[in-house]
Amino acid sequence: MLLLEYRRDRVALSIYMAGCLFDAAADLLRLNPDPGPRPDELFHRFVAWTRHF
């Protein structure tokens, strides 16, 4: 759905997903005392894929 919504503005999609990454990282730090995914894993999960479409 995100690809459809942002099909004409991939930069906006990347910015939106970067915000989601920021929120997810904050949630992980607050809720998960154990080490979670590495920062590069989170980046690929949230942001990196946007450049391929």
pLDDT 10s per residue in the chain (53 long)?
A: 999 999 999 999 999 999 999 999 999 988 987 888 888 999 999 999 998 76
Residue 7 confidence (pLDDT): 92
User: Helix-strand-coil percent breakdown of the chain, rounded to 5?
Assistant: 75, 0, 25
What three-state secondary structure class fits 47?
A: coil
Distance, in Å, from the CA atom of 5 to the CA atom of 13, rounded to the nearest integer, reads 9
